[in-house]
Structure 1
């Protein structure tokens, strides 16, 4: 038996076919549109910064993204997150999200680990307080938290030197890259670790050869660091202090006096030089009880390898360099 399809039926079938194809095209177009649409079409040229603390859950991260207005298609977001296994791959950090990214690009970025790292340079010779202030100014750490960790037993143990009471001297001056999700403890630990890399086995061996403990080398280097910024003068200044220590002469170092003052206003007076503090090397013999700054490699090397000179005195010149003398008479004429 033959089926006869009338022209009207043919037209109807053709119409249904065209309608079906049109619907499929429309749905495909819609899916394509939402898949590739920017996550913030109202400001596609901008960006938003999201901070993801360590230990954050996927839901808490999603809440942060939603709060920033970067979640136009929640169902697509959930689908892609499941497909990419984002729940178990979320990374902590500070992320700069471009508004013209699509949802897939957003999720790929969050699991990439390519978070923002902030560059900060710790100059040679800054003390613990100054470094704490620098970190806070850079919005990398809280100054008060840094200060509270100055005598932290766990961090002190990382120095590798027993019976330490302060981290002063162990925050190695260097250029670091920190994230704003790094804790103050992690930041300090990174600086201590860098110090340990620099004061390596060769430095430790040399310290023994010259009859000094590592901590004494560090303390003397912190004084040398504050006395000059001229590299060529460091070994000579170190030799002055070595010679004075051997002769049981006081070091007479202004920076040590300043470190021991709580009310120093930038003007060192004779009254300050007579003030009895543990750090006043005009009134006390030997080294101060701890470093007075955080010295760099050059100052550490100068103490380990001082110039072979008989200098006992030095005085600063106007250009930042120093004039060295073997006798007090020469020194007074300088």
Structure 2
């Protein structure tokens, strides 16, 4: 470049200073715009949440009768309150309950008001249930198969087992449930699943004011209980390496193997030890479920039964739950004990013996296996006496 085309140094300096000022102005304006936008969003969010916590209509309050089903968690309760016009937003209600660490909500029929704050509503819903004379009550024990649960329902209602099974196996109905329940996914519709809702029908006492409620009403009341547990432990479910469906499968094994609470967490630890080392779970209740018979003792031939539920033949967690677990077992599936054992043997009397090596396990099994033969023979004798009657 020739000398005539070069700018004087003072002009170059002034030009750079001018450009720097422009850049600073642009940066300053951008920062101010972002700060103002952030402040607007923050203020708007604060005002929205503040209004969501306040009464829906304090000046002209309206009394509204609301029924909270048994087993309802914050998510379900929030949805009911929003639908009834008692809170502005169900999600805000759910997060506010979590923020306040509130729990102990009671089922029942309440007379609430649009003049109540969210704190008022929470306090009222924790007071207790309104006593009702129930027309129908029955109890589902923990650890039962879905087919056993269906039989209990049939024995207490006018619905037959075939009618109930037709509902719980109906794909259209199942898809509608998947759309409505966060805990349910397409995993329940896998090709080799024996019963899609196995593990999801929570074992508990159920009370109904209707003498013969619809099958769907009964099923969804049971699903609500499991959904409530899912909601309460959603953070642990999300941080687990397994899906809720897989955790329920583990919980169902734990439920079938353990009688005492402390053993549920220890057995969970053993199952995790096996999973982490790619060892097959090899638990007998999965074989019994695969075959479809309540077996107390499994033979070598039983262990060869070809089914994705059979943990002697297939690695990993079974394709689905093998029973309906209780809350303690579900929690245990997410909180395994830190235990060194890789083997356990459950005795007839409920005692569980833990060992680290296969040789130790074999010695324990040889010592106590006869108890199960005696127990099975005793059960067979009782069934024969019942048949003879």
Q: TM-score, normalised by structure 1?
A: 0.62
Q: Does 1:224 align with 2:242?
A: no
Q: Does 1:139 align with 2:170?
A: no
Q: Distance in 1 between matches of 2:236 and 2:160?
A: 37
User: CA, structure 1 residues 263+234, in 2 after alignment: closer, same or farther (shift >3 Å)?
Assistant: closer
Q: Distance in 2 between matches of 1:197 and 1:124?
A: 17
SS in structure 2 at match of 1:199: helix
The residue number in structure 1 matching 2:123 is: none
SS in structure 1 at match of 2:302: helix
The residue number in structure 2 matching 1:192 is: 223
Out of 121, 136, 141, which is 1:123 matched to? 141
Q: Which runs of 5+ in 1 are unaligned?
A: 1-113
- Which of the two has higher C-alpha Rg? 1
Paired residues of 2:199 and 2:249 also in contact (CA < 8 A): yes
Q: Distance in 1 between matches of 2:346 and 2:241?
A: 29
Q: Does 1:182 align with 2:213?
A: yes
Q: Does 1:258 align with 2:288?
A: yes
Q: Distance in 1 between matches of 2:198 and 2:177?
A: 12
Q: Which runs of 5+ in 2 are unaligned?
A: 1-131, 190-195, 365-389
The residue number in structure 2 matching 1:239 is: 269
Q: Distance in 1 between matches of 2:212 and 2:200?
A: 23
Instruction: Say how many residue pairs are matched.
Output: 221
Q: Distance in 1 between matches of 2:268 and 2:158?
A: 35
User: CA, structure 1 residues 173+145, in 2 after alignment: closer, same or farther (shift >3 Å)?
Assistant: same
Paired residues of 2:255 and 2:326 also in contact (CA < 8 A): yes
Q: How does 1:1-334 map to 2 (within 5 A)?
A: 116-139=134-157, 141-151=159-169, 152-153=173-174, 154-160=176-182, 161-163=184-186, 164-165=188-189, 166-178=196-208, 179-201=210-232, 203-262=233-292, 268-334=298-364
User: CA, structure 1 residues 295+135, in 2 after alignment: closer, same or farther (shift >3 Å)?
Assistant: same
Shift of 1:264: 5.8
Paired residues of 1:314 and 1:325 also in contact (CA < 8 A): yes
List per-residue Cα deviations over 1:239-284 (Å, max 9, x = no partner).
1101101100000011001111146666532111111112110010
User: CA, structure 1 residues 307+115, in 2 after alignment: closer, same or farther (shift >3 Å)?
Assistant: closer
